[in-house]
Amino acid sequence: MERELKKEIITGEKLAKEFKEHSVAEFFKKNRQMLGLYGKVRTLTTVVHEYITNSLDACEEARILPEIEVKIDELGPEYYQITVKDNGPGLTKETVGKALGKLLAGTKFHRLVQMRGQQGIGASGCTMLSQMTTGKAIKVISGTGKGKAFACEITIDPKRNEPKIENMRDLDRNFRGLMIQARFKGVLYRESVMGPLEYIRRTAIANPHAKITFRSPKGEKIVFNRTSTYIPKPPKAMKPHPAGVTVDDVVTMAHHTKAKKVSSFLKNDFERIGDTALEKIQKFVSFDLNKDPKKLTWSEAEQIVNAFRKIKFLAPSADGLRPIGEERIRKSLESIVQPEYVVTLTRQPKVYAGGYPFQVEIGIAYGGKAGISTNGNSKSQEDESGVKVEIMRFANRAPLLFDAGNCAITKAVHSIDWKRYGVRDLENTPLTIFVNFISVHVPYTGAGKQAIADEDEVMEELRLALMVCARKTARYISAKRAEIERRMKRDMFYKYIPEIAEALSKITKKDKEKIAKKLEWLVLTKLKLEKKEEKSSKELKVEGKDSKKVAKGEKIAGKSG
């Protein structure tokens, strides 16, 4: 028995032989569900999401009105080819490999700037998925529109997380933008609330300056025209706010700063730190702030962070946030959702986690084609099987279609007592609730970027914004119901007028028609139905159309909570 135990003993030297390093590409290859690449329908929609997101960001940074074409071709059972083309600035030969063939490489992750994508994973993850499921490279064409276009094919070396570029060649034709063509197996196209078409529809609503053309596997062509020519101003990269940093952040930043003194490092590399704040910080630390920041120790960095906690700083600047805007959301919803009534609201910026500014935008559309049919399709695709509430979630204008139950937006919507606002049954009401969360750092719950974490400050702001808009919607709903009740009451009286007129005519020997007209006049005047109806119609018209008054009223209501 002892001999058997001795044979089973594994030494450290033996374990060392099994020790291997793995690249981030290998990690995500084995854990692609962390990128949202799981489920046949979800995977296809996620691929479309990643490509469109990159196109929108690129066009906006280049100050170009986006024109994006998406085409999905069915090549076989659960086998599709996706082609996405935009009119953006394109990629260079030097950057195309890193942008589409290297995970965690990009222009976004290292900056505190409002972007749809943040991690530099998505497009490269799609390249890896194509390679994993079909063994084929993605095809790319890029150009500036000045005769400098090129084409190539890209795969990923997962062992080194490096792009492999093949068939690089210059093109004679004039081409501007970027076109990506990739093939995927084990995916499925469905026209459902989680399918590519619904994703594009919602993208068009949240990005009214974009024109998106979609061609489905059935050959159907759908064009979502832009409703605005306003290109959002380029978002500004922001510096970290002292209230939201950790000791490790300070140490890492100090060792990479260009500043020669800790004082200039704090003043130049952080937001809201001026001479007055530096004087206060010096009183709370035991070392001279003229020290070289590269020699800053962990304990000294702890002293700085503790000093930050004792000082009241101004909230982070919101200059880096770029909301859609109330009027643009309104026009977009009216164009695509076509509701009876819509109210929109852009709240003032707030801060979460001590140092990240964020803003909430809300739109509530009622009636018309608002809501979704009970079979899961948007109501705009005509359906007679009923309708239920539609919650449209967005982060920095990018639709969030999945993980709804785990998202702060969904939780906030369901935490509201909608009965107080005239919505008797939220789940079965023709209502579209639009919520856009914008921030330089969206607190996603995972790398799939489909759900927002329920931070306390985020939840509070979402609830306040929803309640402000719900109050406006409640006025419309109650006025509409009152009008319906008045009409029903009038119709009920009108129903019996002919019989009463005929009976009175026989008794009084007077003209039946004159009696009927007199009775109609009594119904309208004595019960005051006509005046109330006219007044109601005028109120509804003002409530639904006067966006400036609505916006002003909402902001006032928002202050009171």
* Nearby residues of 484 by Cβ (< 8 Å), 6 or more positions away: none
Please compute the mean of the pLDDT values over residues 20-36 and round it to a whole number.
56
d(CA 261, CA 313): 21
Please check the confidence at residue 384 and state whether its pLDDT lies above 90: no
Amino acid 12: pLDDT: 64
pLDDT in tens, 67-90: 999 999 999 999 999 999 999 999
3-class secondary-structure state, position 87:
coil
According to DSSP, the β-strands at 398-400 and 390-395 are antiparallel
Band of pLDDT at residue 341, cut at 50, 70 and 90? very high
Using the 8-state DSSP alphabet, how is residue 81 labeled? E
Pairing outcome for strands 211-215 and 176-185? unpaired
Which numeric CATH code is attached to 25-189? 3.30.565.10
- Domain 242-310, second-level architecture: Orthogonal Bundle (1.10)
Cα angle value 449/455/458 (rounded, 5°) = 90
Q: Are 479 and 540 in contact (CB under 8 A)?
A: yes
% residues pLDDT > 90 (the chain): 51
Which is higher by pLDDT, 558 or 353? 353
* CA 30 and chain centroid, separation: 27
pLDDT at position 117 is 55
Give the span between the Cα atoms of 303 and 247, in whole angstroms: 9
Query: What is the pLDDT at residue 148?
Result: 80
Residue 42 has pLDDT above 50, yes or no: yes
The mean per-residue pLDDT over the stretch 229-257 comes to 87
Least confident of 286-300, 359-373, 375-389, 496-510: 375-389
Span 195-214, mean pLDDT? 95
Q: Which helix (H) or strand (E) holds 510?
A: none
Say what the pLDDT of residue 276 is. 93
Give the start-to-end residue ranges of the domains of the chain: 25-189, 242-310, 326-466, 477-560
Q: Which two tokens stand for residue 241?
A: 């706010």
Residue 397 φ then ψ, to 5°: 75, 0
| Residue 370 half-sphere exposure toward CB, CA atoms < 13 A | 26
Residue 22 has pLDDT above 60, yes or no: no
End-to-end CA distance of the chain: 75
In this structure, the chain runs to a length of 561
Share of the chain above pLDDT 70, in %: 80
pLDDT of residue 536: 47
**CATH class in words for 326-466:** alpha beta
β-strand partners of 224: 212
At 348, which amino acid appears?
Q
pLDDT class of 382 with cuts at 50, 70, 90: very low
Residue 59 pLDDT > 80: yes
Instruction: Convert the pLDDT of each residue in 533-554 to its tens digit.
Output: 444 444 444 444 443 443 333 3
Tell me which amino acid residue 151 is. Answer: A
User: Side chain identity at 460, as an amino acid letter?
Assistant: E
Distance, CA of 364 to CA of 431 (rounded, Å)? 7
Average pLDDT of 485-493?
70
* Lowest mean per-residue pLDDT among 2-6, 59-63, 194-198, 450-454: 2-6
Between 302 and 517, the higher pLDDT residue: 302
**pLDDT of 119 above 70:** no
Give dist(CA 417, CA 414) in Å, integer.
8
SS3 sequence of 59-70: HHHCCCCCEEEE
Task: Name the pLDDT band for 260 (thresholds 50, 70, 90).
Answer: very high
Using one digit for the tens of pLDDT, what is the confidence trace for 430-465? 999 999 999 988 898 876 788 999 999 999 999 999
How big is the CA angle at 201 (ends 197 and 207), to the nearest 5 degrees? 140
Average pLDDT, the chain: 82
Residue 53 pLDDT greater than 60, yes or no: yes
Q: Starting at the earlier edge strand, list the strands of the sheet with 211-215.
A: 162-170, 150-157, 138-144, 176-185, 79-85, 67-76, 211-215, 221-224
pLDDT per position as a tens digit, 348-362: 888 887 678 899 999
Query: What is the predicted pLDDT for the residue at 237?
Result: 77
147-166 confidence digits (pLDDT tens): 789 999 999 888 888 899 99
137 pLDDT exceeds 70? yes
